[in-house]
Amino acid sequence: MQARRASRELTLILFSQLEKNIDKYKPEDFEKIVLKSVRTLISSSQEELNLATSGLLEVSEFIEDYENNHPDNLKRPIEANNIPVQIPLTSDMAGRIKNILSVCDKTLNALEIAEISTLSQKEEVKDYINKIAETFREKKQDIDNIIRELAFGWDLERLFKIDKDILRISIAELVFIKDAPHKVVIDEALELAKKYSTDDSPSFINGILAKVVERYV
């Protein structure tokens, strides 16, 4: 994961924790909130991974017991090794396979959180988080007015907060910071929407940001 990508994701996590009055926060507050949020994510990820691992062990034990107790192996000499047997694809087994896939997802998520946690300590990541957050604090009215103008037919207050925060981060970068390629900013905004928001969010955000580039950049 690149440093800038980690900065954007951590800024999104930061924004989710901020109260409406962003003027009350200082740069050191941003850093404390990010650190606390990352620790919470790591703790949650560890708990999920422990639960998922226990589920994977259950599947492993089921397969081992099924093989040991299969008629083809029960009639073999005690000292002989088991021979492989077919596992019936029953609804029960399908459920167990689904659990394995869930374990894989949780493992990948835990690894990604660990990577984000490591990157969150890098100065370039901290600096860019602060840069985005400070830009939004200074230009909040302008940024929200852009969203109001371009999100035709949508009340800003009724937008999903996660979508609104992704747009705020992206607009801060595109219109005011201006040191990352437009395509990179938009592509990573869409990835955040896919990861954290609804199925319709990437299309909505893409449409707004395309208009931002057309009119303001």
> 42-46, 82-86, 171-175: which has the minimum mean pLDDT?
42-46
User: CA 206, CA 105: separation in Å to the nearest integer?
Assistant: 26
pLDDT tens per residue across span 97-138: 777 777 777 777 777 777 777 777 788 998 999 999 999 999
Q: Which long-range contacts (CB under 8 A, 24 or more apart) does 83-91 make?
A: 87/63
pLDDT at residue 152, rounded to an integer: 81
Higher per-residue confidence, 44 vs 168? 168
* All structural domains of the chain: 3-216 (1.10.940.10)
Q: What percentage of the chain exceeds 90 in pLDDT? A: 45
Task: Name the nearest CA neighbour of 144 among 171, 123, 112.
Answer: 171
Distance in angstroms (rounded) separating the CA atoms of residues 37 and 54: 26
Give the range with max mean pLDDT: 37-46, 93-102, 103-112, 178-187.
Answer: 178-187
DSSP the chain: --HHHHHHHHHHHHHHH--S-GGG--HHHHHHHHHHHHHHHHHHHHHHHHHHHHHHHHHHHHHHHHHHTSHHHHTS-TTSPPPP-PPP--HHHHHHHHHHHHHHHHHHHHHHHHHHHHHTTSHHHHHHHHHHHHHHHHHHHHHHHHHHHHSTT--GGGS-HHHHHHHHHHHIIIIII--S-HHHHHHHHHHHHHHHS-TTHHHHHHHHHHHHHHHH-
What pLDDT score was predicted for residue 148? 93
Write down the mean pLDDT value for the chain: 87
Q: What is the pLDDT of residue 139?
A: 95
190 pLDDT tier (thresholds 50, 70, 90)? very high
Q: What pTM was estimated for this model as a whole?
A: 0.75
Residue 209 near residue 172, CB atoms below 8 Å: no
pLDDT at residue 174, rounded to an integer: 97
Backbone φ and ψ of 174, nearest 5°: -70, -45
Radius of gyration of the chain (CA): 24
Q: Please give the share of the chain, as a percent, with pLDDT higher than 70.
A: 100
How high is the pLDDT of residue 1? Answer: 56
Residue 173 scores a pLDDT above 70: yes
Distance CA 61, CA 9 (A): 38
In this predicted model, what pLDDT tens digit does every residue of 65-103 receive, in sequence order? 989 999 999 989 888 899 998 887 777 777 777 777 777
The pLDDT assigned to 29 comes to: 87
* Amino acid occupying residue 40: T
